[in-house]
Amino acid sequence: MGRYSGNDHTKDENDNHSDQMNPNNDTYWSDRGYDDRPDDWEERAGQE
C-alpha cells in the first residue's frame, strides 16, 4: 500500500482521513476500539 495522497481523493475522503489520524477527533478513538474519546486523550495519544 502506498502513501496517502490527498490529490487522489474527494474532500470528504480527505476530511475522513484527517479525522482518523487526529487524536483530538472522536473518529480517531472509535477506529481504535474506544466508545468515546477518553478524558485523558492527550496522554494516551502520546502512547498510541
pLDDT tens string 8-31: 889 999 999 999 999 999 999 999
Q: What is the pLDDT of residue 34?
A: 94
For residue 40, tell me if it sits in a domain: yes
Q: Is residue 29 part of a domain?
A: yes
Count of domains observed in the chain:
1
Instruction: Assess if residue 22 is contained within a domain.
Output: yes
**4 found inside a domain:** no
Domain-located, residue 30: yes
Q: Are 29 and 36 in contact (CB under 8 A)?
A: yes
* Domain contains 3: no
Q: What is the pLDDT of residue 1?
A: 53
Report pTM: 0.71
The mean pLDDT of 28-48, rounded to a whole number, is 91
Domain that holds residue 19: 11-46
**Helical residues (DSSP H) of the chain, grouped into ranges:** 11-21, 26-30, 41-45
The answer to whether 40 and 46 have CB atoms below 8 angstroms apart is no
